[in-house]
């Protein structure tokens, strides 16, 4: 009796009430597959790729096994009667907490060029609420590389840092006056500091939307901050050495050691910062010391090319202005949704820091030539041995 009742309950068809039709936008992906008639659970990748494991279950459904077990898989949905309109479920959950079939065409991981809005992005990518559209979906590595060839809200950020990489690699080592300078170590420090922020930022902006856990995004952010730190510490080292060039040897080492300690402390703060303002303020100590060295250059105790002050000032001034604009989200804060693709705060900051590195190059080049050819006439009692000679 129990067996007969069980068999009747398993194999007798159940009439379902009509339900609202919810068909996908791309029915060609489901050609030859009637999802509700199978009554099986399937993952999103099985649906959109036409997995043989998923398509192979049609055989057992065709012979009318009913809503029991089919090919070792428990069916949660009853079979659809002949003539009834099929319905594709969208995101229901089983009793065991497993996701049912998800047939949504707007899934962020489906197509690279289907740009999304701010509300569609994961929480770790929602860092600027004033940029409303143009977000790339979560992509693979190759999908992120392919995003170089279509427009989105990170295109300007990628281009403004990708082009300087090529320019510095091809031009900067050739235009450096190697025959006119003595310390090639300082020259290479400047070249490394000039190119490092663009490499870190280019990788960060290109691969920030990869379909990986948020920890991967934070590693990219740390790589970006590491490149900025190399630029702030090693890139400005020729200017620091030139500023203390006319001081006694012990003072030269003391001031340069203090600058290195401040730079290492700034690196630690940069890698552990949790907000845009904290990431910018972590370089405050090296920045303040460079300002003090600028004041030193104006006295008879300071060194450096006296005609180079404008470049020395602009290399830090433009960086500070760009960082402040990026942290304040200006001007998209007053024009939300209107500057999603260009002229937003991050685009402006990128352009300003590129200009800052341009002035840093001229400052370093002029100071390196001055240290090789100049003399400390403003402080005649100086020791002839200097930090440049030790390098």
- Helices assigned H by DSSP within the chain: 2-11, 35-38, 44-49, 52-55, 58-62, 141-146, 155-175, 184-207, 214-233, 237-243, 249-272, 276-281, 284-297, 309-328, 345-373, 387-390
Annotated binding residue at 350?
yes
H/E segment holding residue 112: none
Judge contact between 89 and 77, C-beta under 8 A. yes
User: Exposed, middle or buried by CB within 10 Å (0-12, 13-18, 19+), for 44?
Assistant: middle
CA distances 93 to 18, 35, 237, 327, Å, are 21, 16, 59, 41
User: Would you state the structure tokens that stand for residue 65, as one six-digit string?
Assistant: 């096994």
Judge contact between 34 and 62, C-beta under 8 A. no
CA distances 180 to 199, 273, 366, Å, are 29, 41, 10
Annotated binding residue at 161?
no
Annotated binding residue at 132?
no
User: Would you state the structure tokens that stand for residue 126, as one six-digit string?
Assistant: 């929602």
User: Would you state the structure tokens that stand for residue 272, as one six-digit string?
Assistant: 């552990």
Q: What's the rounded Cα separation, in Å, for the pair 311 and 317?
A: 10
Q: For residue 139, give the 3-state DSSP assignment.
A: strand
Judge contact between 282 and 266, C-beta under 8 A. yes
Q: What's the rounded Cα separation, in Å, for the pair 234 and 216?
A: 27
Q: What's the rounded Cα separation, in Å, for the pair 159 and 203?
A: 11
Q: What's the rounded Cα separation, in Å, for the pair 70 and 60?
A: 6
Which candidate, 388, 321, 353, 323, places its Cα nearest to that of 196?
353
Q: Tell me the sheet residues that pair with 210.
A: 139
The structure tokens 């920030």 sit at 208
User: From the annotation, which residues make up the binding site for Zn(2+)?
Assistant: 205, 346, 350
User: From the annotation, which residues make up the binding site?
Assistant: 205, 346, 350
């Amino acid at each position: 009796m129990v067996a007969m009742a069980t068999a009747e309950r398993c194999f007798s068809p159940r009439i379902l009430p009509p339900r609202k039709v919810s068909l996908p936008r791309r029915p060609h992906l489901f050609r030859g597959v009637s999802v509700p008639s199978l009554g099986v659970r399937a993952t999103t990748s099985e649906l959109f790729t036409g997995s043989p494991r998923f398509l192979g279950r049609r055989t057992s459904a065709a012979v009318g096994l009913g809503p029991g077990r089919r090919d070792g898989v428990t069916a949660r949905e009853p079979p659809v009667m002949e003539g009834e309109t099929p319905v594709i479920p969208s995101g229901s959950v089983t009793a065991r907490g497993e996701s049912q079939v998800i047939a949504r065409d707007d899934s962020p991981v489906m197509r690279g060029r289907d740009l999304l809005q701010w509300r569609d992005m994961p929480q770790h990518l929602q860092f600027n609420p004033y940029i409303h559209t143009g977000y790339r979906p979560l992509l693979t590595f190759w999908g992120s590389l392919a995003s170089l060839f279509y427009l989105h809200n990170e295109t300007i950020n990628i281009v403004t840092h990708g082009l300087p990489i090529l320019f510095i690699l091809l031009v900067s080592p050739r235009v450096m006056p190697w025959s006119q300078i003595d310390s090639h170590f300082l020259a290479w420090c400047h070249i490394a500091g000039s190119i490092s922020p663009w490499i870190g930022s280019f990788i960060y902006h290109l691969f920030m939307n990869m379909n990986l856990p948020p920890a991967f995004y934070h590693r990219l952010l740390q790589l970006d901050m590491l490149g900025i730190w190399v630029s702030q510490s090693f890139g400005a080292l020729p200017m620091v050495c030139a500023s203390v060039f006319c001081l006694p040897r012990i003072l030269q080492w003391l001031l340069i050691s203090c600058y290195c300690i401040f730079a290492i402390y700034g690196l630690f703060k940069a890698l552990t910062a949790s907000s845009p303002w904290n990431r910018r303020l972590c370089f405050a100590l090296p920045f303040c010391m460079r300002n003090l060295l600028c004041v030193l250059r104006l006295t008879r105790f300071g060194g450096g090319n006296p005609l180079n002050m404008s470049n020395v000032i602009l290399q830090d001034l433009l960086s500070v202005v760009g960082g402040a604009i990026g942290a304040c989200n200006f001007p998209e804060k007053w024009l939300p949704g209107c500057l999603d693709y260009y002229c937003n705060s991050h685009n402006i900051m990128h352009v300003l820091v590129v200009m800052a590195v341009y002035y840093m190059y001229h400052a370093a080049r002029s100071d390196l030539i001055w240290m090789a050819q100049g003399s400390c006439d403003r402080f005649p009692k100086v020791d002839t041995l200097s930090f440049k000679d030790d390098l």
